[in-house]
Structure 1
Amino acid sequence: MARIEPGTGLETAEPGVTGEGVRGTRESLALTEGESTSFGSDSELNGDTGDRHTDKYGFIGGAQQYSEQLAEDIPAEVLRQREAKWLDMLNNWDKWMAKRHKKLKLRCLKGIPPSLRGRAWLYLCGGKVKKEQHKGRFEDLDSQAGDPKWVDVIERDLHRQFPFHEMFVARGGHGQQDLFRVLKAYTLHRPEEGYCQAQAPIAAVLLMHMPAEDAFWGLVQICEKYLPGYYSAGLEAIQLDGEILFALLKRVSPVAHRHLKRHKMEPILYMTEWFMCGFSRTLPWASVLRVWDMFLCEGVKIIFRVGLVLLKCMLGSQDKVKTCQGQYETMEVLKAIDSRYMQEGFLVHEVIELPVSERDIEKEHLAQLRRWKEARGELHCTSPPRMHGAKAIMAADPPSRQDLRQNPTILVQSPMETKKMRGKIREEDMVRRKTEEEKRRKTEEEKNGKKSSSSTDADKPESPEASEPSLLLKDTPLKQSNQSLSSAEQDTYL
């Protein structure tokens, strides 16, 4: 027997129930039309937000709205410097990934500049390469009608994704339309997998930072490279990772491990939404973005670390577990994580310091896989190998320079270059008029048969400026009326 957890919208199993009982089909993770959520009133879900203030991330309310008390704003000068560094990395991505990956990883840990986050995410996950290697693929999928079974489920889920964000608050708005396009395209791209409700918040986060086509390829990479098998029928991959998380918890926090084991708390009960949604419906938004910066750079170990940090902080001491006398009380504690543990600065520091590596995860993965086969037999879902971060993804499918080339998306007139051009034009005009005046005077003197007193000057060689006006045009930076800024000076989605 399965039930819908209040405030999450994800279906979880009753104690002791795993496997097919968790989710027999993709629809079972979706709420039915009549079920309530913790997102707010119907008027809010329909876009009637009144006079609510929109925060810097686009939220008009809800638990993920930006809190000034927890603000950790970066000074403008520091942000500009980081943007310049990231622009250099994006323009030379293959070299940075091959020779200076540690430095790139460090900059991801510090946080990607907001103006470049969407572009950086697409490069990190390998979506940029996939997009270039499969040009026209998204347009082809987008033009198709889609399987009615999945189309119906997706349409019912659209208004449930970040209903307090200005991009998705209006039913039928551009945000919901793009979300539908991305999710429908994925069901056509992977018809054997179809649609799972937990894919919707992943796609929505991507759409907040990039166009629909880029978000589609980002979703493809996350589903196939970072979290393979998570969204397939039976939820076997997420259950297996739940056992890995529980085994790692024994080393990180023995107190929390003993408490959860004592009360027979299966990992699938509390970590399903965390992992499948990338903590996008759990953490404050500033923390979500920092976690995704690290996750797309370093892989799933970041998701494991965040889960371990939250479990350790909430259940890691005897005093804390004393207040949780049973399974219900423990679940309530894990559904209401203390805000101080989710705050950006604290959480990121703890995640970085936690000693859990890719090797630890893979070692435990093999151990849990053996136990799974002994207890339940072979896995029904066969997924591709998991890639631990951007470097592994790039090594598995080396891109060409053409794949990484930044394509201009906005053509604008550059004020700086326009000013320089005007100065050049004025100089050329002065030279042209001077030359024409000299020719006119010489012609008139020859016509009248008089020797001009200035003939000596006329016989002198013209100055370089007068004789070679084309040189003024040689170094002119603007060869045409428009100048692309998107690849070198600014991002499309600022």
Structure 2
Amino acid sequence: MDTNNESAKDRLPRVDSYGFERSEEFDYAFYEDFYSRYMTILTRRAIKWSKIMQNSTAVEKSLKVKRYIRKGVPNEHRSSVWMIVSGAQAQMELNPGYYHSVLLEGQKNTKLVDTVITDLNRTFPDNVKFRKNASPCLQPTLYNVLVAYGQHNKSVGYCQGMNFITGILILVTKDEEKSFWLLDALIGRILPDYYSPAMMGLKTDQEVLGDLVKMKIPAVAELIDRHEVMWTLLVSRWFICLFIDILPIETVLRIWDCLFYEGSKVLFRVALTLIKHYQAYILEAKNFPDVCDKFKDITKGTLVTECHLFMQKIFTEPGSLSRKTISKLREQRRTQLLTQE
């Protein structure tokens, strides 16, 4: 018996500050050690962010803000920072009353309402705040945002995966209207075509990741080809859920800080870092199921729990990743996918 883990388990709550229940395998001792160190970093970052947030125009595109965001946005400022850097704040101010009017319209759309209701109980079954018997229960808020968004963006409507993304936005902003506009920023601008019926953007980016792995980690690309594993089997959930339920919540929020500021390129950096860091482990795979299992394993453990160090790695380990390269690869892959249809 690990006495350190048992004593840490007694000290740490079974449910984290976001409402997620800790799993049976949760390493309490490691987490307690990590979090005591991370709290020092968070306190230092909070002081710096408080200074910058005194002037809202200071949170504009600049090398200083980019550096601050990569080092993490403290929880108390996260909602405001996401709103500003994503353009969601500007859209909300330009469209007063729009959210409530589109929600009322959406509630008349029976097909949309039924589809959203079907997924409410499937959203974060391990989060106490989304359970029917929770007080307050976040399900009605989730329902409202998804119905409003489905009505607002009729070409997307409601697509599985959006419930998890919206759930995280609600946990961070604690505000329906802000969650709606952040969802609009993600689906409409940051992740184009990820959630459209054909999911062309999502399919394209999975293939682009394969191309990047071929360029940067060729031995793994060769292994994937040899065992004839499709990239969609390995990484579709990484992309469609933006690493929710894949990586620890603190790490997901740190990734999203950068996603709202720098765009979808960040998702490739995260994926490449995981694959590169665990290259030797992945290369031990002997067959198709082995490869799939190893890709599940690499999203667990100390590397991804140490979110501050992990975020430093995503900007160093994969090396350069220019927008030009990604745009070119996306164009090529999109053309190929369209010709296959």
TM-score between both structures, scaled by the size of structure 1: 0.60
Structure 1 residues 258-407: aligned runs within 5 Å: 258-314=222-278, 316-317=279-280, 320-322=282-284, 324-337=285-298, 338-343=300-305, 344-353=307-316, 354-355=318-319, 356-373=321-338, 375-376=339-340
Which range is displaced more, 132-141 or 263-272? 263-272
TM-aligned CA deviation for residue 254 of structure 1: 0.8
> Is residue 2:84 matched to residue 1:123?
yes
8 A contact 1:295–1:302 mirrored in 2: yes
Q: Secondary structure at the match of 1:164?
A: coil
Residues 330 and 236 (structure 1), Cα distance of their counterparts in 2 relative to 1, 3 Å cut: same
Q: Structure 1 residue 325: deviation in Å?
A: 2.0
**Match of residue 219, structure 2, among 255, 267, 271:** 255
Greater C-alpha Rg = 1
Q: 1:76 to 1:171 in 2, by over 3 A?
A: closer
Q: Could you tell me how far apart the structure 2 residues matched to 1:225 and 1:89 are?
A: 26
* Aligned partner of residue 243 in structure 2, secondary structure: coil
AA at the equivalent of 1:340: T
- 3-state DSSP of counterpart to 2:160: coil
Mapped pair 1:109 → 2:70:
yes
From 6, 13, 17, the equivalent of 1:56 is 17
Q: 1:63 to 1:156 in 2, by over 3 A?
A: farther
String of CA shifts for 1:166-218, please: whole Å, max 9, x gaps.
32133575311100000000111012221001111110010001101100100
How many Å apart are 1:129 and its aligned residue?
0.8
Deviation at 1:68, TM superposition (A): 4.9
| Matches of 1:146 and 1:290, distance apart in 2 | 37
1:437 alignment counterpart = none
Q: Please show how residues 460-475 of structure 1 align to structure 2 within 5 Å.
A: none
In structure 2, how many angstroms separate the alpha carbons of the residues matched to 1:63 and 1:299?
Answer: 35
Of 113, 116, 119, which residue of structure 2 is paired with 1:157?
119
Per-residue Cα deviation, 1:226-262 (whole angstroms, up to 9, x for no partner): 1011111122211111111100011221111111111
Aligned pair in 2 of structure 1 residues 191, 339: CA closer, same or farther (>3 Å)? same
Which residue number corresponds to residue 198 of structure 2?
234
- Give the secondary-structure state (helix, strand or coil) at the position aligned to 1:163: coil
Q: Which runs of 5+ in 1 are unaligned?
A: 1-51, 378-494
Instruction: Measure, in 2, the Cα distance between the counterparts of 1:134 and 1:257.
Output: 47
C-alpha separation in 1, matches of 2:15 and 2:52:
32
Task: Report SS of the residue matched to 2:155.
Answer: coil
Query: 1:78-136: CA deviations, max 9, x gaps?
Result: 645533432443343435525xx111111111111111111211112111111101110
Q: Distance in 2 between matches of 1:105 and 1:228?
A: 22
1:90 counterpart residue number = 53
Q: 2:164 is matched with which residue? A: 201
Give me the whole-angstrom Cα distance separating, in 1, the residues matched to 2:311 and 2:253: 11
Q: Call closer, same or farther: CA 1:242–1:288 in 2, change over 3 Å.
A: same
Give the match for residue 175 of structure 1.
138
CA gap 1:59/1:370 in 2 versus in 1, 3 angstroms? closer
Q: What TM-score do the two structures reach when normalised by structure 2?
A: 0.86
- TM-superposed deviation, 1:162: 1.8
Give the root-mean-square deviation of aligned CA atoms: 2.4
Instruction: Give the CA deviation at 1:77.
Output: 7.2
Q: What secondary structure sits across from 1:278 in the alignment?
A: coil
Determine which structure has the larger helix proportion and give its number: 2
Equivalent of residue 176 in structure 2, options 194, 202, 212:
212
Moved more, 56-65 or 192-201: 56-65
CA drift of 1:75 comes to 7.1
C-alpha contact 1:65 1:285 (8 A) present in aligned 2: no
Q: 1:72 is paired with a residue of what secondary structure?
A: helix
Deviation at 1:147, TM superposition (A): 2.0
Count of aligned pairs between the two proteins: 320
Between the aligned partners of 1:104 and 1:139, the Cα distance in structure 2 is 32
Separation in 2 of the partners of 1:137 and 1:93?
24
Percent identity over the alignment is: 26
The 1:299/1:361 distance shift into structure 2, 3 A limit, reads same
| Separation of aligned partners in 2, 1:370 and 1:149 | 33
Name the amino acid aligned to 1:200. Answer: N
Partner of 2:104: 143
Distance 1:75 1:171, change over 3 A: closer
Higher RCO by CA contacts (8 Å cutoff, separation 6 or greater): 1
Distance across 2 between alignment mates of 1:78 and 1:310: 23
